[in-house]
Chains A and B, each alone.
Chain A
Amino acid sequence: MSQVPQDLKYTKSHEWARRSDDGLVEVGITDHAQELMGDMVFVELPEVGRQLEAGAECCVVESVKAASDVYAPIAGEVVAVNEALADSPESVNSDPYAGGWLFRVRPSGDDIDGLMDAAAYAGVLEAEGE
């Protein structure tokens, strides 16, 4: 059973979002998503400064098995990306909710409150048969 931390928000497409004290939102892919994909080999991050629409493809994570799009959980401007992933994409596997974060956005519209909470996301996983 994969981990679903209580303090995060989630999307159906298996991204997580975390709001920090400075109002920025950190985004990554869930433990379930990394488990399905297997060992990561490349992460293609969005450009800093890019304006994302909610639900837009913004990032590609590529594992030994397959390439997969990552979707923006909310609208906003990309203010930082996890450059360490260029040398250690495996952090997405080993530490998906901390060291394996992908990018940070400054929300321009709805905040993350409208996303799923941990219980709802766990329900999605259950429905998918995990």
Chain B
Amino acid sequence: MTVMIRASDLTKVFGSNTAVDHVSFDVDEGEIFGFLGPNGAGKTTTTRMLTGVILPDAGTATVLGHDIRSDPVLAKQGFGVVPETSNAYTDLTAWQNLMLMGELYGLERTRAMQRSSDLLGMLGLFERKDQKVQAYSKGMKQRLILAMSLLHEPKLLFLDEPTSGLDVQSTQMILALLRDLNRQGTTIFLTTHNMEEANRLCHRVGIIRGGSIVAIDAPEKLKMAIERVHRIEVSFDREVPGDALEGIPGVTGVNRTGDKWQLTADNQYEVIRSLVAFSQQNAASIVTLNTLAPSLDDAFLRLTEVTGP
């Protein structure tokens, strides 16, 4: 598996504040890697170091096999960047912005024109390609930035909060495009606050807190790693006493939530088998049965919570 991004002990200090503190991780080819963390955790600073916008004070970053400090042009030629806030030239039209990007990435003009038309069409901006960007909505600007970052068909795409503050239509359009790009082989480095987005898109996530990485794993593994006690939600077609549920082997706690019961257990599989037996013995059919796995939100909050002195 080819390593597309290798961060080794990346460190950035602003005055007396260590924004990023010896951060190390790899991102493999074809992955969607989510980079999560609370505000001020160092996500954007790390992304800026990886994309060569700012220089690290210590450590190294290799992107697409090129050291971002010693070979920045070769590294940048192979990736695209979608920052948190749109940075297209608002005094230029969408088309002029794309042509500028084409020239900055060394594309032949005919190729740049073809790609621009395709991308603007795909992102629903073709009809307004000759309008200055200052008249665009936030969603349109973000879609344009995505088009600008994809013009040269990068193997790697950095996205910093790409759907932050966007309407549902733009969000869905961008997420669908990211999935398609990944299916076609593009590696994606996604910085986001949106746990649901990360949960649904990412193969692995890295969680950063106070400038340091606290966990890197697949979302499902992270969720399970933080929760040893499992929760099961069950409802029956007739009233069942709580006492009876407490007596089921393996159940360690019972809570009523509306017309359902929430059970806690150390071994959820054993309790599910017991619940089925309980239902048959008491002639109470199970209407719903859900295992309540911890969400990525839970994992995130647990991993990023600040422990008291």
Binding partners A and B: no
Chain B residues with CB under 8 Å of chain A are none
Chain A residues with CB under 8 Å of chain B are none
